[in-house]
């Protein structure tokens, strides 16, 4: 079940059906690969029946909705044809007594557009859509597509797991749409952009654009540089939670500004203690919104034959943070660039579980980890070669070999939109919809 999670409060929407004609309202989350509408005035009890189905016309055939909630909101997943290519979109409502066809009723994917049909839910007349009338409505709960019914979960009862190759929150599938916001790992010693806007401005900007998670890097030297540094990082994470934003804690480097640090340039026991310090501080501050611990960024100095040592470090960090009471998922990045049939990015190489590791993650909680490759193209790495076979070999195969979800820890481009579209299509094809774009700040 795909779920919209409302962390801060339960929202109950009351719809007044003052008109008898069916209304179709396009949701703001609608786009090329996802479509959602609210159908108003479809209570068929007055004509002795009820709605039994809502369909969309795709390539000449009606296809049923994917999910529904609140009794009148219906979502449709991508079925090989972009929804923008289907405009004007035809809908069909089925009741126990009749079928109401709404041919070409939706003219645009713009959120808030409302179309009023000539038909009522009881008449079964053929609808004739009118000119769209955009209306104001509250911001929808933040979630990437596809989505489903809304549930409310107490912050104190949150339980994240990773199984069936998905993120699972208290038994519900959860899709994540995230951004990286860097600064704590640099010589700026704080989030970038605060000279332009305050932190709350950026959090609201993310929420308004449908993001529900942030990857927030830090350097261990910064964290260990004094209690004020640690408190600043904890407070930033906690502030994100006030906007319902989840956070991936990311040990990006040991030295501020040195993104070339590797697993063998750090003292592993010291960095496990750093993680214990961070975890303890989060728990003490009652920070509820930590979803991931990203163990160490892009351990590019780990050779393919050393995969076991890298996983062992991840397991040791996992036990350390869990021991401090931080019940987060553990993000395991890829290692070096030595891949086939094309080279990997640093952080992308997750061939180890297949080629060098046997089983994969043997910590005390085997449903509390995700794979987190980094994926870029030539305008970032200089290597413009890419294809599905490469992604499949580097990390995509893990959806068949293991039970854990794949969360793209970094991806991005300066303008290679064909590559971006190909990556998006591949992720959809393996049903992995959790990711962090690099990045919010330039």
The pLDDT tens digits for 45-69 are 767 788 999 999 998 899 998 878 7
Q: How many Cβ atoms from other residues are within 10 Å of residue 379's Cβ?
A: 13
Q: What percent of the chain has pLDDT over 70?
A: 88
> Which of 114-128, 150-164, 343-357, 406-420 is the least confident region?
114-128
Confidence of residue 8 (pLDDT cuts 50, 70, 90): very low
- The confidence score (pLDDT) of residue 356 equals 85
Determine contact, residues 353/401, Cβ cutoff 8 Å. yes
Length of the chain in residues, anyone?
442
pLDDT at 127 over 60: no
pLDDT at 136 over 70: no
- The confidence score (pLDDT) of residue 149 equals 54
pLDDT at 192 over 80: yes
Q: Which candidate, 364, 332, 334, places its Cα nearest to that of 248? A: 332
pLDDT at 16 over 70: no
- The confidence score (pLDDT) of residue 14 equals 26
pLDDT at 221 over 90: yes
3-state SS assignment for residue 349: coil
- The confidence score (pLDDT) of residue 6 equals 54
- The confidence score (pLDDT) of residue 152 equals 79
- The confidence score (pLDDT) of residue 168 equals 95
Q: How many Cβ atoms from other residues are within 10 Å of residue 360's Cβ?
A: 21
Determine contact, residues 32/83, Cβ cutoff 8 Å. yes
How far, in whole angstroms, is CA 5 from its chain's centroid? 12
Q: Mean pLDDT, to the nearest integer, of 256-265?
A: 94
- The confidence score (pLDDT) of residue 44 equals 84
Q: Is the pTM of this model over 0.75?
A: no
3-state SS assignment for residue 86: helix
Highest mean pLDDT of the ranges 21-30, 54-63, 65-74, 373-382: 373-382
427 φ, ψ (degrees, to nearest 5) = -60, -40
CA distances from 2 to 5, 51, 143, 169 (A): 10, 22, 10, 10
CA distances from 238 to 286, 290, 342, 377, 439 (A): 8, 9, 40, 33, 20
> Long-range contacts: 164-172, Cβ < 8 Å, 24+?
164/403, 165/399, 165/402, 165/403, 165/404, 165/405, 165/406, 165/431, 165/432, 166/405, 166/431, 167/329, 167/370, 167/405, 167/407, 167/434, 169/3, 169/5, 172/1, 172/2, 172/3, 172/5
Name residues whose C-beta falls within 8 Å of residue 9's C-beta, 6 or more positions apart in sequence: 152
CA distances from 187 to 75, 192, 256, 294 (A): 45, 11, 5, 20
Mean pLDDT in the chain? 88
Name residues whose C-beta falls within 8 Å of residue 366's C-beta, 6 or more positions apart in sequence: none
pLDDT at 70 over 90: no
Confidence of residue 319 (pLDDT cuts 50, 70, 90): very high
Determine contact, residues 332/294, Cβ cutoff 8 Å. no
Q: Which candidate, 323, 329, 310, 326, places its Cα nearest to that of 268? A: 310
pLDDT at 303 over 60: yes
59: left (phi over 0), alpha (psi -120 to 50) or beta: left
- The confidence score (pLDDT) of residue 17 equals 34
Determine contact, residues 293/321, Cβ cutoff 8 Å. yes
- The confidence score (pLDDT) of residue 135 equals 32
Confidence of residue 341 (pLDDT cuts 50, 70, 90): very high
414: left (phi over 0), alpha (psi -120 to 50) or beta: alpha
SS (HEC) of 180-222: ECCCECCCCCCCCCCCCCCHHHHHHHHHHCCCCEEEEEEEHHH
pLDDT at 147 over 50: no
Q: Which candidate, 400, 29, 5, places its Cα nearest to that of 171? A: 5
């Amino acid at each position: 079940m795909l779920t919209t999670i409302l962390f801060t409060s339960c929202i109950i929407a009351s719809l007044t059906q003052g008109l008898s004609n069916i209304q179709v309202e396009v949701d703001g989350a609608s786009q090329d690969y996802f479509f959602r509408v609210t159908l108003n005035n479809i209570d068929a009890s007055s004509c002795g029946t009820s709605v039994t189905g809502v369909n969309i016309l795709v390539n000449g055939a009606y296809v049923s909705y994917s999910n529904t909630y609140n009794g009148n909101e219906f979502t449709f997943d991508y079925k090989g044809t972009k929804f923008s290519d289907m405009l004007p979109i035809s809908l069909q409502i089925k009741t126990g007594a009749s079928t109401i066809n709404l041919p070409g009723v939706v003219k645009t994917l713009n959120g808030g557009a409302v179309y009023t049909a000539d038909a009522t839910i009881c008449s079964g007349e053929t609808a004739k859509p009118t000119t769209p009338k955009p209306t104001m409505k509250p911001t929808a709960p933040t979630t990437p597509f596809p989505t489903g019914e809304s549930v409310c979960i107490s912050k104190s009862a949150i339980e994240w797991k990773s199984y069936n190759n998905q993120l699972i929150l208290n038994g519900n599938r959860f899709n994540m749409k995230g951004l990286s916001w860097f600064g704590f790992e640099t010589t700026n010693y704080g989030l970038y952009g605060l000279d332009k806007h305050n932190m709350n401005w950026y959090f609201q900007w993310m929420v308004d654009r449908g993001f529900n998670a942030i990857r927030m890097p830090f350097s261990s030297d910064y964290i260990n540089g004094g209690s004020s540094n640690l408190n600043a990082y904890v407070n930033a994470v906690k502030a994100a939670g006030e906007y319902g934003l989840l956070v991936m804690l990311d040990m990006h480097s040991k030295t501020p500004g040195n993104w070339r640090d590797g697993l063998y340039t750090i003292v592993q026991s010291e960095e496990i203690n750093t993680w214990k310090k961070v975890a303890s501080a989060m728990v003490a501050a009652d920070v509820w919104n930590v979803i991931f611990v990203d163990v160490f960024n892009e351990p590019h100095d780990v050779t393919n034959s050393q995969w076991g040592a890298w996983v062992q470090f991840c397991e040791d960090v996992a036990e350390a943070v869990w021991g401090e009471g931080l019940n987060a998922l553990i993000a395991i990045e890829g290692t070096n660039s030595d891949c086939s049939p094309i080279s990997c990015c640093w952080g992308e190489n997750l061939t180890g579980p297949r080629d060098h590791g046997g089983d994969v993650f043997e910590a005390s909680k085997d449903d509390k980890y995700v794979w987190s490759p980094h994926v870029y193209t030539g305008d970032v790495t200089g290597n413009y070669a890419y294809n599905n076979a490469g992604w499949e070999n580097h990390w995509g195969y893990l959806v068949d070999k293991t039970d854990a979800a794949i969360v793209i820890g970094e991806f991005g481009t300066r303008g290679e939109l064909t590559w971006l579209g190909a990556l998006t299509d591949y992720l959809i094809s393996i049903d992995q919809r959790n990711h962090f774009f690099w990045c919010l700040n330039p």
